[in-house]
């Protein structure tokens, strides 16, 4: 840990990661504090339902232990909003982490009071800290005060100071800091960025997962083999607009699917029944269509859908045009004609980015659209395409279909992946660059 001045970020290129990774570092005798993204889904009994994120961090964690270092693992889970909440306790995943690592894992029930536990760690030992977000200092946003409140700015400033103290405490546990949490690299939180201020340049690094993620983004941005097809799905157009607009300058084909289909259909004068529809985004939808035309991008929208009479797996269904969904029914998945059209475009692609499902894939009866996309991506990948699948739900999709190892790269990042592809600086990476 170092005591002096804050970092300055000189170079804003988030993708130049040479000399920032752990390969050449020998952790022997060192205590390493590693920020991972163990925000894994749990079932109602607190059991991990998808351990992709735990497995993703293993190469970094194992390298540190194999070198003879000791490990302090820190992560967030869920959105406890700065309060202790057993529902989001990382103690629930301690055994899964131990099993995956093949090592005993000690648990520190208060991440900001773990100095003793950290100090007593011997080489090869592992300490997992409790959820960082049990402290509001982790995210650094003032709690319980409205943005409109005149006192908000002062509260924000105070919280930023508290955030620095919190980060300094975490830093005090270790000799070196490793960030391997790509999923939160787009956030300037205590453990993802601020903490790096308290380490010398040679003692802060990016883990293997981070390195792989950044290289995959680089592949998409700098080595585009055409045609480049992006598939954006999920629930709303409003949350994806930044990336959609950015992709418009890069892709040959842009498939928009999932819930946003119905905002487009409504904008074109369709009846969408009870489908998810952002009425305040109709102009935006028309604007996207116009931009695609102006830029020569082949915009592919769903034409038919599987409509349901309720939002449930056992709903009654019918296939109908997205422009003519009966009252009381809602579009829940891509229809057969749409699936065929999507697959035809995807199969010929040489670079593919997929973020967001084509339907409510959590219900088994509404997976066909996402399945058709996943199958076509696998086919294209077998024919030499580079395929990047990212975002929690798309990853859950390829896992559900057992196809994760048949695409080129499955990213653990949702927002971070999209922001990196948008060309934004990721604070988690900038902080390491120093
Ligand atoms: P996002 O977080 O925006 O990527 O959205 C993912 C969510 O979109 C998943 O939980 C899907 O169930 C949901 N989704 C996809 N298609 C639809 C649809 N047609 N209607 C409602 N939700 C949808």
Identify the pLDDT of residue 5.
32
- Do residues 114 and 127 touch, judged by C-beta distance below 8 A? yes
Q: What pLDDT shows up at residue 392?
A: 66
Cα of 258 vs centre of ligand 1, distance in Å, is 6
Ligand 1 contact via 62 beta carbon (within 6 Å): no
Hey, which of 393, 395, 397, 415 would you mutate to test ligand 1's pocket, going by the most ligand atoms within 8 Å of its Cβ? 393
pLDDT for the residue numbered 423: 80
Please provide residue 331's backbone torsions phi and psi, each rounded to the nearest 5 degrees.
-70, 125
Give the three-state DSSP class for 391. Answer: coil
What residue ranges of the chain have pLDDT lower than 50? 1-15
> Tell me, what's the pLDDT at 386?
94
Q: Which tokens go with 370?
A: 């996402």
pLDDT of residue 415: 86
Ligand 1, residue 355: give the atom nearest the CA.
4
Q: Are 14 and 214 in contact (CB under 8 A)?
A: yes
208-222 helix and 52-67 helix, angle to the nearest 10 degrees: 120
pTM for the whole structure: 0.82
Q: Fill in the DSSP letter of residue 271.
A: B
Total residues belonging to the chain = 434
Q: What pLDDT digit, counting tens, does each position of 223-271 carry?
A: 789 999 999 999 988 888 888 998 999 999 999 999 999 999 999 999 9
Residue nearest to atom 18 of ligand 1 (CA): 259
Give the model's pLDDT for residue 18. 64
Catalytic residue among 392, 413, 414, 428: 392
Q: Please tell me the predicted confidence (pLDDT) of residue 8.
A: 27
For residue 9, the SS3 value is coil
| DSSP calls for 299-320 | EEE--EEEEESSSSTT--EEEE
pLDDT at 204: 97
């Amino acid at each position: 840990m170092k005591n002096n001045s804050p970092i300055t970020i000189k170079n804003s290129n988030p993708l130049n990661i040479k000399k920032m990774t752990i390969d050449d570092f020998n952790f022997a005798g060192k205590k390493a504090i590693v920020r991972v993204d163990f925000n894994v889904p749990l079932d109602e009994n607190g059991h991990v339902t998808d351990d992709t994120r735990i497995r993703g961090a293993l190469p970094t964690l194992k390298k540190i232990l194999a070198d003879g270092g000791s490990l302090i693992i820190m992560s967030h889970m869920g959105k406890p909003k700065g309060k202790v909440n057993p529902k989001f306790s990382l103690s629930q995943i301690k055994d899964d982490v131990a099993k995956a690592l093949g090592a005993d894992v000690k648990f520190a029930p208060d991440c900001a009071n773990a100095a003793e536990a950290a100090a007593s760690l011997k080489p090869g030992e592992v300490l997992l800290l409790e959820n960082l977000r049990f402290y509001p200092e982790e995210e650094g946003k003032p709690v319980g005060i409205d943005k409109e409140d005149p006192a908000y700015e002062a509260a924000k400033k105070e919280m930023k100071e508290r955030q620095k103290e919190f980060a300094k405490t975490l830093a005090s546990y270790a000799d070196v800091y490793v960030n391997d949490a790509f999923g939160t690299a787009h956030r300037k939180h205590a453990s993802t960025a601020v903490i790096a201020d308290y380490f010398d340049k040679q003692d802060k690094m990016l883990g293997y997962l981070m390195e792989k993620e950044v290289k995959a983004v680089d592949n998409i941005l700098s080595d585009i083999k055409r045609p480049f097809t992006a598939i954006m799905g999920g629930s709303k157009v409003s949350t994806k607009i930044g990336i959609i607009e950015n992709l418009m300058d890069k892709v040959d084909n842009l498939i928009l699917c999932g819930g946003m289909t119905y905002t487009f259909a409504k904008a074109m004068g369709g009846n969408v029944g009870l489908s998810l529809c952002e009425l305040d985004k109709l102009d935006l939808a028309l604007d996207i269509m116009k931009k695609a035309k102006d830029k020569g991008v082949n915009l592919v929208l769903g034409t038919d859908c599987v409509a349901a009479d309720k939002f449930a797996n056992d709903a009654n269904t019918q296939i109908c045009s997205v422009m003519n969904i009966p009252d009381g029914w809602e579009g829940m998945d891509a229809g057969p004609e749409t699936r065929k059209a999507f697959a035809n475009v995807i199969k010929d692609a040489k670079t593919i980015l997929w973020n967001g499902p084509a339907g409510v894939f959590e219900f088994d009866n509404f997976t066909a659209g996402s399945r058709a996309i996943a199958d076509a991506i696998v086919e294209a990948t077998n024919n030499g395409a580079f395929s990047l699948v990212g975002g929690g739900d798309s990853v859950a999709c390829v896992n559900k279909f057992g196809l994760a190892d048949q695409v080129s790269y499955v990213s653990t990042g949702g927002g971070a992946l999209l922001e990196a592809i948008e060309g934004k600086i990721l604070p988690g990476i900038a902080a390491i660059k120093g």
